[in-house]
Amino acid sequence: MISTVKEKLEPLYKSYVLAIVAIGYVLGELGHYLIGVTSKAIALDLHYGDIACQLNTTEYFLSELPDLCHTANNSETCLSFNVNGTSYCEWTYNGLGIDYQVLAGPCFIAVFTVVGVAFGFLADRYHRVRMLAGCTLVFGIAIILCGAVKEFWQLVLLRMIMAAGESGCNPLATGILSDIFPEKQRALVMAIFNWGIYGGYGIAFPVGRYIPPLNLFDAGWRVAYYGAGVIAIVFSALTLTLREPERRQITTDTTNEDKEAKKLKIKDIISDPRLIMLGLAASIRHCGGMCFAYNCDLYYQTYFPDYDLGWWLFAMTIIIGSIGVVAGGVFSDKIVAKMGVRSRLAVLAVSQIIATPFAFGSVYCEPIGAMVTLGISYFFAEMWFGILFAIVVEVVPLHLRSTTIGLFLFVINNIGGNLPIAVDPVSKDIGYRESLYVFYVGAYGLSAFMFLGTMFLMEGPKKVPEVKDLGHDNRIFTTMDENQIPTFPLGERKKLSNASTIPMDNHSRL
């Protein structure tokens, strides 16, 4: 009887595996980005970050107030603002400041990238299902404990532990899925799995905005962390119900490389002006994305406290951002692949140039205009990552691609993921909105022109024989918290070889 039931359910097993690992990844990203939405509530409790004048009522629209709260520079001026003798401002913690920027970015990114590389190598040697369950358990417990902290330093430490746990999800889950699903389904499977970034980031808005005010169990913001952590632990247990798949053979064949390419060493690659320029441009672009991811909710709460944009931000991230990633995959794998490296860079630059003015509008405009321009910006901006790595694999010789991709991602994450910390000191000199013009909008625009400049350093397209895909290398994965690599099979590319040990259907900050 039991065996009969198992036989009937066996066709659903692959979908079950995908659902378990994908939802686990969503929960990890939820824990990662929840700080950006709950920072103000946590700061009021733990007393960290900046103190500023803020609106303390929902009875008025900003247009109805004689003075705007954020214009006050001291408590006396702040408390003097009133309507018919009733004060509508308060002088308190706003969740921003250097403490928040460190909490959101560097303390998480530094651990995430370093430990992630280690998990990439461990995935080729040990039981991936058990390690994935352990990683999910670690970040689940860390999320729960984040809800129980009493001091700021405890939160920093737990964010680092959370990062260590989540860093294993991508390389471990990617290896498992690649060994279970055939090549023709792998791109779609990876797209679904890596949607977890947008899922977790998007869900953080309603969870962080609407659950704390309910004050369930008299715990306020802490309930959001307790709930996310408990669910993560449940999925850790469910992960143990998965079977460790048989590993597919990994190829390191380089017979299709020309003799000159085989002579190249990694030092030749990292000193290549084309890759240096491309890496710098990518780091700046990633800085812009992470800057907005970590600051968008706090920005809109600061400048438009009379508008509830939580569900708008949820929709923009979940729907528009996801469509942009898929569109980038289509463009890279089906259209741009036919045009060569230079044309790829041209499309990459143009997509970011189009996104830049709309990114400006998402900060400059009033709420409705900001959401409309944000949606358009998201659509074009999120195309970048897929096309970028299609360029890298064409430029780098086959036998050095794994190492190059690993170094490339490490640099992008550490430069682009940590630069947003500069938002705080700059905002104190020129203003919060103006600092986002620099690090968010400016980063988009600067990266676009750097991508365009890199185009002139590239050679014309070279023909590369197509080779059958022979396996998946767990060591190479993306630790990006913003985007993902192409979502369509590389087998469709005429100019790229699937014999590479890099799973380009694989993923990597708010």
Backbone angles phi, psi at 82, to 5 degrees: -155, 160
Residues 85 and 192 in one domain: no
Residues 71 and 145 in one domain: no
Q: How far apart are the first and last CA of the chain?
A: 49
Domain assignment present for residue 247? The answer is yes
User: Quick one: tokens of 155?
Assistant: 């939160």
Residues 201 and 170 in one domain: yes
Rounded Cα distance between 455 and 452, Å, is: 5
Domain assignment present for residue 498? The answer is no
User: Quick one: tokens of 168?
Assistant: 């294993």
Rounded Cα distance between 493 and 211, Å, is: 46
In this prediction, residue 425 carries a pLDDT of 92
Domain assignment present for residue 85? The answer is yes
Per-residue pLDDT of the chain (510 residues; tens, 9 = 90+): 556 655 656 778 888 999 999 999 999 999 999 999 999 999 999 999 999 999 988 788 888 889 889 889 899 999 999 998 889 999 999 999 999 999 988 999 989 988 887 887 787 778 889 999 999 999 999 999 999 999 999 999 999 999 999 988 888 887 888 788 876 676 667 767 877 888 898 999 999 999 999 999 999 999 999 999 999 999 999 999 998 888 765 444 444 555 666 666 777 777 788 889 998 999 999 999 999 999 999 999 889 988 889 899 998 888 887 787 777 666 665 655 566 677 778 888 998 999 999 999 999 999 999 999 999 998 898 878 767 866 776 777 766 665 677 677 788 888 888 899 999 999 989 999 999 999 999 999 999 999 999 888 876 555 555 555 555 555 444 545 554 444 444 444 444 444 444 444 444 444
CA atoms within 13 A on the CB side of 277: 17
State how beta strands 51-55 and 86-87 pair. Answer: unpaired
Residues 301 and 447 in one domain: yes
Domain assignment present for residue 508? The answer is no
User: Quick one: tokens of 84?
Assistant: 């018919």
Rounded Cα distance between 172 and 193, Å, is: 12
Residues 77 and 126 in one domain: no
Are residues 34 and 207 in contact, defined by beta-carbon separation less than 8 angstroms?
Answer: yes
The CATH number of residue 29's host domain is 1.20.1250.20
Domain assignment present for residue 244? The answer is yes
Burial of 476 (0-12, 13-18, 19+ CB in 10 A): buried
Rounded Cα distance between 508 and 197, Å, is: 9
In this prediction, residue 411 carries a pLDDT of 85
Radius of gyration in angstroms for the set of CA atoms belonging to the chain, rounded to a whole number: 23
User: Quick one: tokens of 288?
Assistant: 């812009």
In this prediction, residue 3 carries a pLDDT of 60
Partners of 92 in beta bridges: 52
DSSP 117: H
> What residue numbers bound the domain in which 67 lies?
51-93
Residues 71 and 104 in one domain: no
Residues 163 and 89 in one domain: no
| Alpha-carbon distance values, 344 to 284, 310, 331, 394 (Å) | 18, 35, 9, 11
Residues 65 and 193 in one domain: no
Residues 37 and 76 in one domain: no
Domain assignment present for residue 349? The answer is yes
Question: How many structural domains does the chain have?
Answer: 2
In this prediction, residue 283 carries a pLDDT of 93
Domain assignment present for residue 503? The answer is no
Residues 75 and 146 in one domain: no
In this prediction, residue 288 carries a pLDDT of 93
Rounded Cα distance between 462 and 501, Å, is: 20
Residues 275 and 310 in one domain: yes
pTM score of the predicted model? 0.78
Number of H helices, E strands in the chain: 22, 4
In this prediction, residue 447 carries a pLDDT of 94
Place of tokens 């404990």: 145
Residues 82 and 201 in one domain: no
Domain assignment present for residue 4? The answer is no
In this prediction, residue 487 carries a pLDDT of 42
